[in-house]
Structures are given as C-alpha cells and as structure tokens.
Amino acid sequence: MKAPLPVVSLTAPNTVVATIVNATRSPVLSGLSDALIAKVKTCLFDLIGCAFESRDLPWSHQAVHVAQLSGVTKGAAIIGCSGQSSFSDAAFANGVMGHGLVREDMHAASISHLGVVVIPTLLALAQYKKITGRKFIQAAVLGYEVGAQVGRVVMDAQLARIYRPTGITGPIGASAAASYLLSLSDAQTASAIGLSTNTTSGFNQWAHTGGSEMFFHPGFAARNAVTAALLAEQGAFGSPDAMDGQAGLFASLRKPQAGVQFEMFSGAPEILSVYHKPVPACNFAQTATQAALRVSTEHNVQTDEITAIRIRVPHAAAVYPGCDFSGPFENILQAKMSIQFNVAAALLHAGVTENNFATLSDQALTRLLKLTSLEEDPLMTQSYPVKQGAEVFVTVENGVIRHARLDNVVNASFDVVQARFKEACTARLGQYRADALEKFILNIEQAQDAGLIGALMQSE
C-alpha cells in the first residue's frame, strides 16, 4: 500500500519546482508544432544511431555487462542487445552508449548534452507503462527545456572547470520528463525533481587524465532520473525546494539567487536550439575543426608544408578542461577533447571520422601539434553562447597564411543524422529490421504504444 503523499505547496511563484510543474500545462506541449515533432525525431535518430555505432567500445561493453546483471525477464531493452534489463539499468546502459562516440547532441547555453540523459530515460519508461508517441514527444520537449534552463541559470565557464554540466542538468531535466510521461501528480512531480536534484554529480577531472568516467555520467543521470520518478510514483517525498532552498543545489554552487532567473518556455523551446555534432569530439572542438576542414578543402593545403597553426576560440572553449591540450595523448578521450588535436587531424586527413583518433602518436600529426597554438578571441567570447565561433590560421613554407573563420558551430542536418543512424543500425540489425525501426521513429507521433520501440532496437 502506498504511503500518503505529503501536502506540497506549489503556489510560491519564485520556487523553481512550481515553475516546472506549471510548465507541464504549457500550450507548447499541448499544441506540439511540426518543428518540435521533427526535432525530437532527430534527437531519437541521433541517440540511437550513436548507441549502435559505439556498441563495441570498451565503456559500452562495461555498461551493458553491469546493466544485464539484474537478469530480469520483464523490463526494458538495451539498444543493440537481446534480453531485458531493469528500467533503470537499461536507461544507464543506453545513456552510456549514446555518449560513447562523443558525438551526442549539444545545448551550448547550458554546456550540456541533454539527449543522452532525457532520451534513454524516456525509452526505458515507455516500456514500463503504455504511453502514446505524442506523449513521448511532449515529455522529451519538457525534459530538454528543464535541463537547459537549469544550465542557463547556474553553469558558466568557471563552474564547468570543476563540475560536469550534464551531471547537474541531466537528472533534473530527465526526472521532469519522466514524471510527465508517467502522468504523475503535481506533488509526485515535485518529489521526483527533488529526489533527482540530490543525485546531481560529476566532476571534470577526467578531462585532464582521459578517464572514462565521462562516458558514465549520462548513464548515472538517466538511471537516477528513472529511479527518482518511480520512487515518487510510490509516494517517496523529495524536497520541493531542493534546488533553490537555503541548503539546495543553487546554494551549493554558490548561486543562491539563480532561481530568480529561472523561466520555462519564455521564448522558443530550448530543444530547438540543440545542435547535432558533425564531428565525434568535444563540443568546443566542433567549430574550429570545421574551420580547419574549410582551410584544407578550399586551399588544398599540403600538411608537410605547414609551418604554423593558430586557433582562435571563445573564452569558454579555451578554458574548458581538456580542450587546450597539445599532447602527448595516452588515450582517445584526451584526443577527442583537444581542440588542437582535432584541428591538426582534420588538416592531416582532410576529413573528420572516428578514424582520426585511430593513431594518437602518428609522426605527421605530432609534428602539426607542435606547430599549433590556441588563443581566446574577445569578439567570439562576447557572442558566446548564442554563437560559438572559431578561426583557424594556417601558415605554409612560403609565408602565405590561409585561414577560415566561422561565426557559429556547424549543425549536422536531419538528413545527415538520419543517414548515420541508418548505416549504424543496418550494420547491427540488418536491412529489414533497420527499416522497421526507422519507420517507427519517423511516425512516432502516431504511435499508440511508444514502448514498442524497445523490441525494434534489440538484436536477435
């Protein structure tokens, strides 16, 4: 028998949880636009495609092994695997795999990867309780909005030197999405958010060492979000002011007044400002890498003639842990974080794929890295996070300087994301089953049972 829920006041207009609960009744959700529906589909393709593509990486194997220890016969599917795991364990494993390539979606203003937490949470819980595809989309829009807005009011370049933004924004956004998906009451939703706020965690020391804890941050966040929502459904009570109370999250980050700035759906929904990475590397390496590619393709630069490489980026990119690093590189993650590595590799290979990280000690690459410098561009700093620019100057032996400047990051289009998904999915499941999964996602707003996607994601 469920314990009676305590009376929770949601009337205080300056309480963050009240703002979130009130937003669950927003016209943005009830009247889903075509743009929002299309964006959620892109996010689904991106997350699931990345998970398929990273399925055989070490951290994916580790996460799947741990998730399958539960040995349940009724639960949720892990992407690209057979059998069932508990709902929280499936969310954990899918979050890790979705993050495995470092090519997940990105919300720049919150410095967060929201899709690798929100989407795995919803995929798991859609198999716990029958819900429609339309409600799945609404929950995703809400989850992105909450996570993004939390990040907007607390995260900055200084905090991000220590705390992993996704570890803070992810559990809160995903628990709000989970509460909406499960049709929890206002009091239950408040409790779920309060409980998940107590699980926010993740530090950025991994960026200095190349430690693999980064890959597990989204998994921890998704697992905690699922657990928080299910606990709240059973009557567990989480502090409704766990974020903005005198001993809450904002106070712990030394931003006790952050809640005053918190808004929901005050402008275009935040999910629409999420971009999808063209490069399997850190967010802050994206624009500089694309600029380097432009130099390479437009000027046909021969790498053996390069004598200097100069990179200019916003302050946030220059100071984010691991981004300003020229080696030596002991593991792939250090390379994926390094702006210098990604620029040099793009020039060397005239392209950017996972193969750019296959040889970390390549002599030609090492030579280019020794010629590379990184500096802050004040104008780009002023434009960030609305725009995330970068500029690359390449000097060759005759003293000629070739350069390219991009005012903002390049977004992988829906067609690019869908094509990447299809290739990875077909390689794992075969053409017929890949077509079926693709069709389901393309028509998910019409689905009467969104949880059917679980069986479609599994291997035989």
Per-residue tokens: 58: 């070490």
318 and 203 co-located in one domain = no
Torsions phi, psi for 277 (to 5 deg) = -70, 135
Last residue of a domain, one of 273, 306, 328: 273
Q: How far apart are CA 24 and CA 33, in angstroms?
A: 16
Token readout for 143 is 């989850």
Q: Is residue 418 part of a domain?
A: no
Please check whether residue 100 is in contact with residue 54, taking contact to mean a CB–CB distance below 8 angstroms: yes
Do 267 and 327 fall within a single domain?
Answer: no
CA-angle at 181, arms to 177 and 186, nearest 5°: 75
Buried b (16+ CB within 10 A) or exposed e, 20-37: bbebbebebbeebeeebb
Q: Are 288 and 228 members of one domain?
A: no
Inter-residue contact 260 to 14 (CB < 8 Å): yes
Position 440 in a domain: no
Contact 91, 124 (CB under 8 A): yes
Residues 250 and 290 in one domain: no
Residues 6+ apart with CB under 8 A from 361: 328, 329
CB 325 within 8 A of CB 334: yes
Q: Which pLDDT does position 13 carry in this prediction?
A: 53
Question: Do 190 and 74 share a structural domain?
Answer: yes
Q: Can you say whether the dihedral through the CA atoms of 204, 351, 318, 277 is positive or negative?
A: negative
Residues 6+ away with beta carbon under 8 Å from 148 = 107, 109, 110, 112, 114, 169, 173, 270, 271, 273, 274
CATH number at residue 351: 3.30.1330.120
Asked if residue 214 belongs to a domain, the reply is yes
Residue at which a domain ends, from 273, 296, 324: 273
Q: Which among 390, 406, 422 is the end of a domain? A: 406
Look at residue 258 and tell me if it is in a domain: yes
Q: Is 252 exposed, middle or buried (0-12, 13-18, 19+ CB in 10 A)?
A: middle
Q: Is residue 433 part of a domain?
A: no
In this structure, what are the phi and psi dihedrals at residue 424, rounded to the nearest 5 degrees? -70, -40
Q: What distances in angstroms separate CA 41 from CA 5, 34, 280, 439, one per listed residue?
A: 36, 11, 20, 11
259: domain CATH number? 1.10.4100.10
Structural domain includes residue 194: yes
pLDDT on residue 440: 98
Neighbours of 236 (CB within 10 A): 18
Q: How far apart are CA 411 and CA 426, in angstroms?
A: 24
Query: What is the number of structural domains in the chain?
Result: 2
| Pair 308, 377 in one domain | yes
Q: Give me the pLDDT at residue 8, please.
A: 47
Q: What residues in the chain have per-residue pLDDT under 70? A: 1-14
Same domain, 227 and 296: no
Domain with 66, as residue range(s), is: 16-273
Query: DSSP code of 459?
Result: -
Q: Which two tokens stand for residue 452?
A: 């059917």
| Burial class of residue 198 (count of CB atoms within 10 Å of its CB; 0-12, 13-18, 19+) | middle
Are 235 and 196 found together in one domain?
Answer: yes
Question: Do 221 and 311 share a domain, yes or no?
Answer: no
| Whether residue 59 sits in one domain with residue 192 | yes
Tokens of 353: 């794929």
**Residue 460 in domain:** no
- Does 415 reside within a domain? no
Three-state secondary structure readout of 266-290:
CCCCHHHHCECCCCCCCHHHHHHHH
287 and 268 part of one domain: no
- Cα-Cα-Cα-Cα torsion 66, 72, 73, 77, nearest 10 degrees, comes to -40
Domain shared by 75 and 194, yes or no: yes
